Each structure stands twice: as structure tokens, then as C-alpha cells.
Structure 1
Amino acid sequence: MLDPAIASRLQFALTTIVHIVFPVMSMGLAPFLVYFTWKEIRTDEPVYEQLRRFWVRIFALSFVVGTVTGLVLEFEFGTNFAAFSTTAGELFGGPLAVEGMMAFFLEATFLGIFVFGRERVSDRLYFVSAVFVALGTWLSAVWILVANSWMQTPQGFEMAMQAGRPVVTLVDPVAAYANPRFPWMYVHMQNAAVLSVALFMLGVAAYKLRSLGVADPESDGGADTDRRFWRKTLKIALVVLLVTAPLQVVHGDAYGRHVAETQPQKFAAMEAVWETDSYVPEYIVAFPTSADDLMNPRAKDIFGIGIPGGASWLASGGDAQAEIQGLNEFEGSPPVAVVFWSFRAMVALGFWFVLLAFWAGYRWRAGELFEDRLLHDAFVWSSLLGFLAVEVGWIVTEVGRQPWVIQGVMKTTDGVSPGLTGTEATATLLGFVAVYSALLATYTYVVWRVVRDGAPEVTVRREGPDASAEVAVDD
């Protein structure tokens, strides 16, 4: 049987890795749905009604599954990390409670109107429902990230003794909840969600267009509804990718400096620096050449593209000779190989997204966006890479903080439920693996069914002299 601390950490990691897919999908889709609804009302073009109806199905599914898996995560604080909850409950529980009372109920209330009320309410009220659904989705992220960011850069609290044990006491809510990490995490996370959904849209649209023959140079371009629907989807998603991909890289560069200032131990793990050194290289792309290199990146015997002094430049904001504090100077260290390689994967994916966006933008400008088979293949193969980038990014964030559950305040091993046995923790871990694997497989299957069914049929306009006009939309 596994040690209770290890099994609990693995279980929480599993539930987080699966859960995060659903809020990323819903948060990323939210601004698209507001835009589709606005265009549908303003232009009365059937293609925007199709876009709204198609993507709201995936949004609603993601919201429901995300709610269930999110509740399980919160329960795990009591079942597996009761000591942490006892110590930090006064500060940590507040944002989670507000998230449920404010953001979740706001989103859930208006989601019913948005999903089922198009024919029952006015255009104005329907658009308001779309805005409040999106607002609720993004507000949920605010309070979740407030809690998590406080764990990364805790402040606004004091330690007090209650019933013979130390507990966190909130003394400055503004300092605690507006901690230095929150704005960095929020911007990076929300932009990543929108970017991930844009990539997913591009991949689905490219796949459907290829199956319809639109990318075939011999095709007449087609006038049917499905082809127009997917062409519009691809164009809108590409515009968003052109904005979000470069922003993610630029913001990530600044975010890295903030991590170096506030969590030097995590930054040292990201760069696999054990001894304090200067002029530390930055490996933008790196591959292990042996199993030892994979598990022990300190050897730096790897194949990759390194920028001399790049890590020092990133940490300092422009000084390639800057000193980086090594891991040996800290109390304990995270699993460096996990953090190092996850960071490399995140960075490589970020640059690929920029390259893909510029490549597609160039082909669009050249008038060959729908004829480039290689580009469409790249869209398809990249459709889920945004979600992968989010996953490895969170691995860097959470694993890089170890051995601390609250940075510099409480260690993760001290936060585990004291009465939890190895047998109980291992059994629940195995149960979660089975249930969450089935849940993710079911979600994937349902999304695939929605994609397979294609664009919803729209044969009636909401306004106009011809109430039975067929859909016809220009590209």
C-alpha cells in the first residue's frame, strides 16, 4: 500500500488533471458564445445561430461535468487534507464559498435561459443571459485562483494557536486576496483557456472541412450549409489564435520573472539549477538522450536548443549574467525532473502555437487558407495541444511549489488527514482512477457525437418577410 501522503497527492493530482479540462472548455467557449449570440441578434445571419447552438451543447456538457468534478475536489480537502483545511480553512474556505454563492449560482441561473430560452425570451434578455453565463464562468476562476495564488504567495495573515494547534488567521483581506500572484495567474489562465478552445475549434473545423472536400483544390468551394458553417468557424477561431498565442508567450515571459522573484525555489526547479550560478542557459527545446538525463536533468546532457544566459536573463528581466539561486540553498526541493520537463513542454507548445497562428495568417492573406492540406493537418493534430499546455503548466505551478502546500508556511505532508491510512488512501486512489477514466472517456465520446452530427439545421429565420428562407451565408 502507498503512503497516505503519496496516495492523497496522486489522487488530488488525478482529479485536478481530469477536472481542469472542463472549466478550460467552458471558460474558453464563454467569449465565443457571447460573440455568436450578439452577431446572431444583430445580423440575423443563420450561421451565427448555428454556431451558438452547436458550441453551447459542448459548453453545457462541460459545465455539468466540471461542476461535479469540482465538487469532488473540494470534498478532498476534508477527506484527504483535513489538517490543511483545519489550519488554513479561515482564509482558504472564504474564496471557495464565494465562488459557489456568487459565480456558480449566477452562471447556473442564466444557463437555463441561455440553453433553453431562445424562443421564449426577448433578444435583449437572451443576450443578457449569454453575458451573465460568461461572467459567471470567469468569476468562478477569479475565486479559485484567489485561493490558489494565496497558497503560492501567502500574505495578509497571522499564525495563531487554537485548541493547541497553529491556524491561519486572516488579518488583511485585501492583502491576502489581492496577493501578488493572482493577476499573473488569472491573465495567464484565462488567455490559455481561450487559446485552447480556439485551437480545438480550428482542429474540428479543419477535420470537418477535409471530410467535406473543401480543402481540395478541385472543389468548387461548395454552397451547402455545413461547409459555410465550418469555414466561418475556422476563420473566427484563427483570428482569436492570432491574438492569444503571441499574448501567452509575452505574458509568460513576464510571469516567469515574477516567479523568480517570489518563488526562487520553483524557478530553480524549472531550470534544474542545484548550485547557485550565473549566466545560466535557457533550453527552449530540449530532449533527453538517455534515461538518466530524463530523471536527472541536472546533468544537462541533453539535446536541445539553448540560449546562453537565457535563464538568467529571464529571471532578472534582461541581465544574462544575473545569479540564480540553486536548489541546494533551500529546505527540500520538488521533483525537479517533473518540473523541468513540464516547463520545457509548456514553452515548446507556446512557441508552436505562435508559429501555427502566423503560418495560418500568412496562408489566409495569400487566399489559400482552405487549400493548404498541410496546414489543415497541423490544425487537426494541434486541436488538443492547448489543453496539454494547460496541464503541464499546472504541473509546473503545483509540483514546483513542493514540498510546500502553503509556500513557506505548511508542508504538504503536514496537511494530510491524520487518521487516513495507507490502505484507505490507496483504495480510493484506485477507485478514482477507474471512475475518472470512465468519466473522461464518456465526455470525449459525447463531444465526438456532437462534432460528428455537424452543424445544426436552421431553416427558419427569426425575422423577415420570408419565414421559411433556407440558410445561405457568405464566407
Structure 2
Amino acid sequence: MDLGLTALELARIQFAFTVSFHIIFPATSIGLACFLALLEWRWLKTDDPVYKDLFKFWIKIFAIAFGMGVVSGVVMSYQFGTNWSEFSRIAGSVTGPLLTYEVLSAFFLEAGFLGIMLFGWGRVSKKAHFFATLMVAIGTCISMFWILSSNSWMQTPQGFAIENGIIVPTDWFAIVFNPSFPYRFAHMATAAFLVSSLLVVGVAAWHLLKGRRDELVKKSFSLGLWMVLVTSIGQVFIGDQHGLNTLKYQPAKIAAVEGHWHTNHDEGMPLLLFAIPDMQSESNKFEVGIPNLGSLILTHSLDGTVKGLKEYQPQDRPNALIVFWSFRVMVGLGMLMVALSLIALWLRKKQRLYTSHWFHRFATVMGPTGYIALLAGWVTTEVGRQPWVVYGVIRTQDGLSHTVSADQVGITLIIFVLVYAVVFGSGIYYMLKVIRKGPEIVYSDLSEPVGHGHFKTPMRPLSAVDDDLDTTKKGE
């Protein structure tokens, strides 16, 4: 089977496909775990059953996302041994322990308390259940810590020596807390919270458009918009600092992101709003930009100097066309998220937050944009790192397994696409059906709570989402 692509190209496509599919689920579960902890804390503090009902609904979405995240994550580790064995052989003494720390400190914590969180209602006390929820939320954040540390080390490697062609750790503190890690961790954490916030907002807005005005939908909408406000504005400042860090340690990536070919010695660098970078001609087509603004953003000076892509050898340049546009998709959607939250503030003041249909349509459309921006951001950082798998140390082509062939990788890629389409397509379809049904009033109108003041507790994992999803309300 000849796909016309090399083993390296197919291995990169396969890894990009699996990691892109995987990242959306951990991002959802990280944000929702913290949201669930917030809901349960508010319920314990106020004894308002609305928070309890919302917890019952959103824990279903969390359980589905968490399960699909675990399954899709298993594939990632296998690829290091099949397609990227040379990378594992050379850099495994660093990346291996970091991923092991993630399993020992985070995965075991999540696994230990997840069962109590999902199935402990009525079997443990309220405070014990909240503690379990809190531990799961903390566990997801710890997991993100180690994964981002490993990936950030690949972006800005520190604390190692090379002996006989093998990377040997010399300073674990420098490895874990490498120069880009604080910025990338904050950036990803905020992105995960933003993804889940927009999901909450989008679901609530959809139900508002369908005519629901009960307290569950309104509370979800309000809480989600407050979270979008904090995370979207925070992401602007975190992104700025992350960009300055990238300019210092990965200047070629920034040059590609900005479509900047010639170093600007005599004038400020413009901020290009539109361009089509051409790697062959080493120039841009159809440029539209704002003079000096690029220098102001990157150097905080109107005439600051930024190295252009021509300062680097052609074989050391990332693909400018891809990262230029993936970055602009991410930033453009980020600005829409800020606009969404600011408009919401204005509507709150006018007391029209729950009656403005045009805004509900806007919020519904914005619901999935967190995932699009998340993927665009990862495309920017990963394609921008090329042609290095460990920046400045190991080229991507040198990390490929020697024994893998293009046919082998091509066949497994096709299998992955088919299996993912069936398995995860079914999971996503099921999640959408849960979302379509929406949160339900279970306790808000009951004088006597079910099961000693707790939810009806399922006896097996697949019963965690136990609603009849084929039952729809009249008019839907």
C-alpha cells in the first residue's frame, strides 16, 4: 500500500491525529472536575439543592469525558515504543520518569477517589464525598503538571548531559521546572478551564433558546459566564508572557508565528493580520498588517528588533504557513471569548442576560470554540517546534524507529481512524444526547431527599449515566 508519504510523515500524522483526539477529553475532565468541586462546595455551604441537581448532571458529562480520555491516552504511550523508539531510547531517561511520576502521583489519586466520587452517594458522608471530589480535581491538575513538564522540557530542554549519544539527567529541578514550563502550565490550565466554561455556557444557552427558564439552566449560564470572564481575560495576560518566553528560547517559532522573514533593524515589526507565508519563495503574499504593533507586543517597544526566519537555515525552520494561521485562529477565538464575557456583563447590568435571544445564539455557537482554540494552540506549539522533537537536541527524523515502514504506519493510521470514529464517535454521540436532555430538577422541589440526602447511587460504572436518553420533552 503506497500512500505517497514517508514513514516519518505518516508517523507524524498518526501522532498528531491521536494526540489531537486525546487532548479534548483531558481538557474537559480537568475543567469539569474543578467545576464539580465548586458546585458541591456551594451545595454544602448553602444547602441549595440547585447546586446538587447541577452536580448530578455535570458529573455524567465528566464521567464520559474522563473515560474516553483514559482510553485515548493509552494509545499515546504505545506509539513511543512503536513509531518513536529512537526518541525513547535517547530521551527516555528524562521523559520516562516524568510520565511515571504522573501515574504515581496523579493517576493513582484519581483512580482511588473516582469511585467514591461517582458511586459514593449515600454510602459515605457529605464531607467525605466532597473530599473525594476535591481529590479527583486535584489529581487531574497534578496529571496536567507532569504532562506539561515533560512536553515543556522537549520545548526548552535543561538539566541534562549527553553521554554516548544518550540524554542523561543531571538536575531534576531544572528538568521539571524548565524555562517554558511555568508559562505553558498556566496557559494550558487556563485553557482547560476555558474549554469547560464554554461548554457549560453553550449547553445552558442552547436550553435557553429552547425556552427553558428554570433555575438550573440560569445558574449554569451565569456560573459559566463568570468563569469565561476570568479565564479569557487571564489568558490574554498569560499568553503575552508565554509569547515573550517563546521569543527568548524559540525565536524561530515566533518568527514563523508572525510570518516575519527579514530581521527589522531599522524599523518596527508590523503585526500581520492577514498573509499567506510561502516557504519556497521565503516571503508572504497578500500582507495586511499594522505597522510597529508586532514589535510593541513582542518587545514592548515600537522599534524593537525581532529575528526573521531568514536568520535560520531552511532545514531549521518550522512551517510558517501552518503556525501563522493556527495561531491566528487561537487568538481570534480568544478575542471572541473576551467579547462574550464582556457582553454578558453589560446584559447583567441591563437585567437581560436570560432574555436576549441573539446573545443566547452567540453563546451557543461559542460553546465548542474552546476546543477549536485548544487544538489550534497545540498545533502552533508542536508544529512550531519542528524540525526538532527535543528542541535543538534531537531532530524529529532522528527520533523515528529504524524498523518501522511506511506501509506499517499507514495501515495502523487507517485502523486508528476507523476505530476512533466508531468508539469515540459513539461516546461523543452519547454525551451529546445527555447534553440535549439537559439538567433536571431532582431535589429542588422535593421535601424528602433520596437515599439519606444523597443521589440514587448506581451499582456499576455503566450505570453512572442512568437516564433514558431517548425520552425527550414535548416541543423538542
Q: So what's the TM-score if we normalise by structure 2?
A: 0.89
Residues 293 and 301, structure 1, Cα contact 8 Å, conserved in 2: no
Is 1:241 the counterpart of 2:228 in the alignment?
yes
CA distance in 2, matches of 1:257, 1:188: 13
Which amino acid is 1:75 matched to?
Y
CA positional deviation for 1:57: 0.8
Residues 91 and 167, structure 2, Cα contact 8 Å, conserved in 1: yes
1:295-444 correspondence runs (5 A): 298-302=283-287, 304=288, 306-316=289-299, 318-331=300-313, 332-444=316-428
CA positional deviation for 1:287: 6.8
Residues 363 and 369, structure 1, Cα contact 8 Å, conserved in 2: yes
Cα 1:368–1:325 shift into 2, 3 Å: same
CA positional deviation for 1:328: 2.1
CA distance in 2, matches of 1:438, 1:397: 29
CA distance in 1, matches of 2:78, 2:383: 21
Which amino acid is 1:345 matched to?
V
CA distance in 1, matches of 2:279, 2:167: 39
1:32-47 correspondence runs (5 A): 32-47=35-50
Output the aligned Cα RMSD: 2.1
Q: Name the residue aligned to 1:80.
A: 83
Q: Name the residue aligned to 2:34.
A: 31
Q: Name the residue aligned to 1:219.
A: none
Deviation per CA, 1:317-363: give whole Å up to 9, x if none: x1121111122222421111000001111111111111111011100
Cα 1:75–1:444 shift into 2, 3 Å: same
Residues 197 and 224, structure 2, Cα contact 8 Å, conserved in 1: yes
With 435-444 and 328-337 compared, the bigger mean Cα shift is at 435-444
CA positional deviation for 1:137: 0.5
Q: Name the residue aligned to 2:135.
A: 132
Q: So what's the TM-score if we normalise by structure 1?
A: 0.90
CA positional deviation for 1:77: 0.6
CA positional deviation for 1:293: 7.3
CA distance in 2, matches of 1:230, 1:294: 49
CA positional deviation for 1:213: 5.0
Q: Name the residue aligned to 2:457.
A: none
Cα 1:296–1:116 shift into 2, 3 Å: farther
Deviation per CA, 1:87-135: give whole Å up to 9, x if none: 0000111110111121011011101000110111011111110110000
Deviation per CA, 1:446-473: give whole Å up to 9, x if none: 1111112222442446779x999xxxxx
1:111-190 correspondence runs (5 A): 111-161=114-164, 166-190=165-189
Q: Gaps spanning 5+ residues in structure 2: where? A: 455-476
CA distance in 1, matches of 2:174, 2:106: 22
CA positional deviation for 1:44: 2.0
Determine which of 274, 292, 304 is the counterpart of 1:286.
274
Which amino acid is 1:280 matched to?
M
Residues 274 and 286, structure 2, Cα contact 8 Å, conserved in 1: no
- DSSP-derived class of the 2:283 partner: helix
Q: Gaps spanning 5+ residues in structure 1: where? A: 215-226, 469-475
- DSSP-derived class of the 1:159 partner: strand
Residues 309 and 321, structure 1, Cα contact 8 Å, conserved in 2: yes
Residues 10 and 406, structure 2, Cα contact 8 Å, conserved in 1: yes
1:185-224 correspondence runs (5 A): 185-212=184-211, 214=213
CA distance in 1, matches of 2:247, 2:34: 32
Residues 22 and 63, structure 1, Cα contact 8 Å, conserved in 2: yes
- DSSP-derived class of the 2:385 partner: coil
Q: Name the residue aligned to 1:51.
A: 54
Deviation per CA, 1:35-78: give whole Å up to 9, x if none: 11111222222111111111111111111110111111111111
CA positional deviation for 1:9: 0.2
Which amino acid is 1:103 matched to?
A
CA distance in 1, matches of 2:429, 2:352: 33
1:448-467 correspondence runs (5 A): 448-459=432-443, 460=446
Cα 1:383–1:261 shift into 2, 3 Å: same
CA distance in 2, matches of 1:13, 1:336: 18
CA distance in 2, matches of 1:258, 1:272: 18
Is 1:259 the counterpart of 2:246 in the alignment?
yes
- DSSP-derived class of the 1:418 partner: coil
CA positional deviation for 1:297: 9.0
- DSSP-derived class of the 1:400 partner: helix
Which amino acid is 1:137 matched to?
T
CA positional deviation for 1:434: 1.5
Which amino acid is 1:109 matched to?
G
Which amino acid is 1:182 matched to?
F
Which amino acid is 2:271 matched to?
E
Cα 1:461–1:390 shift into 2, 3 Å: farther
Cα 1:410–1:263 shift into 2, 3 Å: same
Q: Name the residue aligned to 1:224.
A: none
The count of corresponding residues between Structure 1 and Structure 2 is 444
CA positional deviation for 1:431: 1.3
Residues 201 and 224, structure 2, Cα contact 8 Å, conserved in 1: yes
Q: Name the residue aligned to 2:467.
A: none
Q: Name the residue aligned to 1:473.
A: none
Cα 1:258–1:356 shift into 2, 3 Å: same
Which amino acid is 2:204 matched to?
A
Q: Percent identity, please.
A: 38
CA distance in 1, matches of 2:364, 2:351: 20
Cα 1:381–1:287 shift into 2, 3 Å: farther
- DSSP-derived class of the 1:168 partner: strand
